[in-house]
Amino acid sequence: MYLKKMEIVGFKSFADRTKIEFDKGITAVVGPNGSGKSNIVESLRWVLGEQSAKSLRGGKMPDVIFAGTEKRRALNYAEVIAHFDNTDDYLVGHDEDDEVVITRRLYRNGDSEFLINGKKCRLRDIHDLFTDTGLGRDSLSIISQGRIESVFNSKPEERRAIFEEAAGVLKYKNRRIETESKLTATQDNLDRLEDIIFELNGQLVPLQAQRDVALRFRELEANRSELSLSVLVGQLLFEKEKYDETRNQLTEVLSVLTGLTERKKVYDDELSELRKRRIEVEQEQEQCRNEQMTLSGLKADLTRKIELFDVQKDSSEKTALERENRLKQLIDRLTAMEEELSVLTEKQKLLLEEKTKLELTLEALSVELESLSEAPETVIERLRDEFVTLVGQEAEQSNIIVRNKAEIENLTRKQSEQDESTKENLAKFEKVSAELDQSEKIYEQLKNEISQLLEQYENQSIIKKQYEEQERYAQNEMYDRLQELNQQKARLTSLQNIRDSHSNLFAGVRSVMQNQDKIGGIIGVVADVLSFDSKYTTAIDIALGGGSQNIITEDENAAKRAIAFLREKRLGRATFLPLTTIKSREFNGLSRISGQKGFIDLAINLVHFEPRLQKALSSLLGTTVIVDTAENATAIARSMSYTVRIVTLDGTQINPGGSYAGGAGKRNTTTFSNVEIDALNGQILTLETQLKQAEKTVQKAQKERLELEQQLATLKAQGEEKRFEEKTLLMTIEQLKSQKSTLSALTELSVSKNTSETLSTLTQQSQVADSMLTKISERKSEIEQQIDQLKSNSQAHKALQSEKTQASSETQLRLSEVTSELRFSKNDEKRLLTDLSALTEEKTQLQASLNPVKFDEKERKLFANQLQTTEQKLGELNVKMVSLKFEREDLSAQMEDLEQHNQDFIQQSQNLSTQKTRYEMQLEQSEQRLMTLQETLNTEHQMSFEEAQDTAVQLENLVSAEQELKQLERQIRALGPINLDAIAQFEEVNERFIFLSSQKDDLLEAKNLLLSTIDDMNDEVKIRFKSTFDAIRESFKMTFSQMFAGGQADLELTSDNLLEAGVEIKVQPPGKKLSSLNLMSGGEKALTALALIFAILRVRTVPFVVLDEVEAALDEANVKRFGDYMNHFDNSNQFIVVTHRRGTMAAAGSMYGITMADAGVSKVISVKLEN
């Protein structure tokens, strides 16, 4: 294999596509310094996969692309194509390709392309292609400038890479690195696996203990269940006997009570009539008393009016005199207030004048501060603009001086035209005056515009802060809504998962629901078929108790199938409510408590369900009353003699018989998951709406803030532009004033003045222009000093800014004081005007009231007649009141007699009612106990009473059986928390423990295999490296003595570790005894390095060798020796030498010349030298 051809375009100085063909043997590349010779070597290194821009003498990789010259534009890509002859199948993987073409492209945007035989590939593919071919990155096949010295200057460990490349062990090293990486990954997996196994081992011990407890629990629970069934049947039989006895006693009491009630009803009817008449009499009495009160009030009112009429008539004259005196006082007070108002008006005028002055001062300071607040770089830029303007004005004044000088020189010629010149100056004077007036008007307008812009900027800044605050508040609101929405969604997902998996149900209930399709006839769990207002959740939960997990079935057959399924699979127990057998329970005392305080409703009326489920749900909730508070519940229970079951909204429960249950604890919040899911869905919709609204608010606030920021930027730019226009206009005004003064002087010259006076005038005009030039020059110097000062030190700038800031603060403080005084003065003025208006109105009223009051005697007589009529009606009412009093006393006596006769009946009825209540309470309690026992029987054993009687064992002693049952329950409680899933969990964890232990063994085996592979590769590397090193060592001894014509050389390893040992070079040129390689000359080092290169080439043949001015340090004799030695190699070796030494050129078979016909662009010239 050898390098046949290279094509270069856009790489460094090769702007045009350049083709270079290489033959076997020696090819020399020559040319002057800077012509681009080394670029050919670097292009070859680049196309073979060089990744370091620094190695290619660049800062970054795009630097290799042709950057252009003065005459040639830059290119956008670089491309190098290398053609290799592969007829000897040297490159692995390309045995069938006689030629292998490697292409590399780089675009200026950083994109790269790599191709092998026109097919795209990766850079790594190119590296792999040349691995162990002798053309690797660390080989000596391509030696650039400075690489020769690096052979000596590098450390022995770094020098080892050259020998490894020659030995062809890089592929083994790369494979070892990959294997070590796999070994690390295997060890990591092994560590993780050991952690998991350790954790599982820690779980197995407690799980085994929990499994043993669960098995013990199953044994005790089976015994307890069997005994519990027999005890329940015995308790039910005992309670039924008590129930029948109590019901017979209640029937007898009710019969006696009915007879007493009928007799008592007769007396009650008579007493009711008497009470009715007495009420009518009392109503008449009340009506008479009301009329008396009305007439008494009318009498008092008429009497008071007559007395007031007489008093007013007597005091009329005295009141008129007092009003006249008050009117005089008002007139004096009004005069004093008008004088005080005049003083306030004058004071306000003075304060307004001071306020105006302070505002002007503050505005000027604000302008200065705004200028000072600019960054030094901005000020420098503005000063430079002003400097340019001054240069223009300086040129204009210089022109005036030159023009005046010309006029003085031609004064004799122009003397005859004196009259015309005077007219021209007058016209100029008028024009300049008009321009000056116009400029001054524009200046005032500019000042107003700047003031308006400043005010707009401040107002917009305030509004911007408000919008920023609104945006911040809206963002916080949006984030709050988003966080709350995520929480609610997470809660909803959790509840849906719990509902779908039935994980909130008892084990037996869960098993039935998970297999309901298989069992058939299952309608659902009670908690899942209900819906109600969320505020009743606690009350309904307590009212249902364990019944919330009862299962409703279509009929009793479905219930039996489910029970058989649970018993067969030993999956637990459940209570079933077949619609065909369940009986509803109704509450008969609703009318007695419906109107009482705190009563809400029966529990059955607060829930919603399908109508066909009425009986099943009524059996659970039909007799339970829901009340708002415990206090009201107690009152209702007392009124019902504690015969009804009551539950409050907070969960307090009052049972029949008077027992209470309540408190707080950890409650299962997922019992009614459907209810909470519906509520959560509503809340999520609301939150999503709120979130969208919050997002819109944020977007609106952001949009408004951005618009304001753009407006502020526009206002700032306009302000800066107006400031510049203002300063430019001021200079223009000064210039116009100077011109006007000059023209005014000229127009005052009379036609009859002599030449000397004209010369004097022109001289004066020139002096004015010269004065302007002096001012302009001084200003230019001042600007230059300011620029230098701003560049060197900004301390003075800061001090001046501080001084102006303090002055602005003091002015602002005084302005606030004046504004405050003016506000107080206006408030005083407003108060005086208000008082003045009130006093004026009072004055008008007093003047109008000075007229004498006239009294009407007819009105007094009318009042007297009405008083007499009222007193007559009062007398008639008094007579009627006495009559009604007697009638009421008679009725009361009759009622008292009837009540006395009825007292015995009441006492007897109360005694019987007490007995009735006691029997009813006993009956209700007995019924409740029967229901509780029946419910317990259904819940725990899923049996009816008849089925239980057939199954239960006949007990000889119910009390002993109950004690034995309690003992079993104590033993179960002593077991502590029971994890029935621990049995399955133990089996699952144990199975996983065994599986992972097996995996661990597999990983250990893989680890040992990888370690063995690494050892094998290390052995191969040692063998190859040692054999190659020994061969190169012997070859180096020979090539050194040949090239130096004598002397001795040797190679030594730094240690016995063949995998890491470095390589030391030991040389002794002829006639010298060196203690260190550093004592060798540059030529000796170069020749020694070349001897090492030739020694390696003799041991490991490489396709080609590229040498870039490696003989530069040799003298002519050694250069010739170098060239002759290259010719010792036959044509199987290819040398490409970049050189400018004659001896090397003479040894070459062909030669390429590199020139730069155009600056910065390399060209190639080919020359054959065989002949």
Q: Does residue 121 contact residue 115 with C-beta atoms inside 8 Å? A: yes
Give residue 660's region: left, alpha or beta (phi > 0; psi -120 to 50). beta
727 annotated among ligand-binding-site residues: no
Residue bearing the bigger pLDDT, 248 or 803: 248
Strand partners, 25: 1134
Name the token pair of 181.
Answer: 């990486």
* pLDDT for 115: 95
Beta strand 1063-1068 pairing with 1048-1053: antiparallel
State yes or no: pLDDT of 1060 exceeds 80. yes
Instruction: Please state, as a whole number, how many other Cβ atoms lie within 10 Å of the Cβ of residue 756.
Output: 9
State yes or no: pLDDT of 144 exceeds 80. no
Residue bearing the bigger pLDDT, 412 or 708: 708
Provide the total of helices (H) and of strands (E) in the chain, helices listed first: 26, 22
CA 125 to chain centroid, in Å, comes to: 45
Q: Does residue 556 contact residue 580 with C-beta atoms inside 8 Å? A: yes
Candidates 3.40.50.150, 3.40.1080.10, 3.40.50.300, 3.40.50.2300; CATH matching 156-167+983-1099: 3.40.50.300
Q: How far apart are CA 27 and CA 4, in angstroms?
A: 12
Least confident of 166-180, 385-399, 792-806, 966-980: 792-806
Helices (H), 374-417: 376-409, 411-414
Q: In angstroms, how far apart are the furthest CA atoms of the chain?
A: 171
* pLDDT for 308: 63
Least confident of 370-379, 538-547, 655-664, 878-887: 370-379
State yes or no: pLDDT of 750 exceeds 50. no
| pLDDT band, residue 117 (cuts 50/70/90) | very high
Q: For 576, phi and psi rounded to 5 degrees?
A: -120, 145
Hey, which of 126-140, 157-171, 178-192, 863-877 has the most confident mean pLDDT? Answer: 178-192
**Domain regions of the chain by residue span:** 1-133+1103-1171, 156-167+983-1099, 525-548+580-667
Query: pLDDT tens-digit profile of 91-114?
Result: 877 878 889 999 999 999 989 999
Say if residue 145 is exposed, middle or buried (CB neighbours under 10 Å; 0-12, 13-18, 19+). middle
| pLDDT band, residue 90 (cuts 50/70/90) | confident
Q: How far apart are CA 430 and CA 435, in angstroms?
A: 9
Q: Is 276 helix (H, G, I), strand (E, B) or coil?
A: helix
32 annotated among ligand-binding-site residues: yes
Give the residue from 791, 921, 1141 showing the smallest Cα distance to 26: 1141
Name the token pair of 1015.
Answer: 């050892």
Average pLDDT over residues 921-943: 77
Query: pLDDT tens-digit profile of 310-348?
Result: 665 665 555 666 666 766 777 777 787 777 777 777 777
Candidates 3.40.50.2300, 3.40.50.300, 3.30.70.1620, 3.30.470.20; CATH matching 525-548+580-667: 3.30.70.1620
State yes or no: pLDDT of 116 exceeds 50. yes
Strands (E) in 685-738, as ranges, are none
Please indicate whether the domains covering 156-167+983-1099 and 525-548+580-667 agree at the CATH topology level.
no
Name the token pair of 1019.
Answer: 């052995």
Residue bearing the bigger pLDDT, 596 or 846: 596
Give me the CATH code for the 1-133+1103-1171 domain, please: 3.40.50.300
Alpha-carbon Rg of the chain, whole angstroms? 60
Residue that is written with structure tokens 């340019």 in the block: 388
550 annotated among ligand-binding-site residues: no
| pLDDT band, residue 81 (cuts 50/70/90) | very high
State yes or no: pLDDT of 1048 exceeds 80. yes
State yes or no: pLDDT of 1171 exceeds 90. no
Helices (H), 628-672: 630-639
Q: How far apart are CA 717 and CA 709, in angstroms?
A: 12
Give the residue from 17, 35, 129 showing the smallest Cα distance to 75: 17
* pLDDT for 77: 94
| pLDDT band, residue 17 (cuts 50/70/90) | very high
Hey, which of 498-512, 669-683, 864-878 has the most confident mean pLDDT? Answer: 864-878
Instruction: Please state, as a whole number, how many other Cβ atoms lie within 10 Å of the Cβ of residue 875.
Output: 8
**DSSP per position, 505-530:** S-HHHHHHHHTHHHH--EEEEHHHH-
Q: How far apart are CA 166 and CA 1024, in angstroms?
A: 10
Q: How far apart are CA 467 and CA 697, in angstroms?
A: 11
> Which residues have C-beta within 8 Å of that of residue 940, sequence separation ≥ 6?
225, 228, 229, 232, 573
| pLDDT band, residue 554 (cuts 50/70/90) | very high
Across all residues in the chain, what is the average pLDDT?
Answer: 79
* pLDDT for 476: 74
33 annotated among ligand-binding-site residues: yes
Least confident of 176-185, 317-326, 353-362, 758-767: 317-326
Helix axes 1116-1127, 982-1044, angle to 10 degrees: 120
| pLDDT band, residue 523 (cuts 50/70/90) | very high
Give the residue from 923, 931, 948, 938 showing the smallest Cα distance to 584: 931
pLDDT > 70: percent of the chain: 83
Query: pLDDT tens-digit profile of 593-648?
Result: 888 899 999 999 999 999 999 888 888 888 899 999 999 999 998 888 888 889 99
* pLDDT for 843: 65
Q: For 122, phi and psi rounded to 5 degrees?
A: -100, 160
Q: What single DSSP character describes residue 1110?
A: T
Strand partners, 1137: 28, 1107
58 annotated among ligand-binding-site residues: no
SS (H, E, C) 588-634: CCHHHHCCCCCEEEEHHHHCECCHHHHHHHHHHHCCEEEECCHHHHH
Query: pLDDT tens-digit profile of 411-452?
Result: 656 555 555 656 676 777 777 778 778 877 887 888 888 888
Q: How far apart are CA 882 and CA 119, in angstroms?
A: 133
State yes or no: pLDDT of 1006 exceeds 60. yes
780 annotated among ligand-binding-site residues: no
Query: pLDDT tens-digit profile of 654-670?
Result: 988 788 888 765 444 44
CA 585 to chain centroid, in Å, comes to: 57
Hey, which of 193-202, 516-525, 728-737, 1102-1111 has the most confident mean pLDDT? Answer: 516-525
* pLDDT for 752: 40
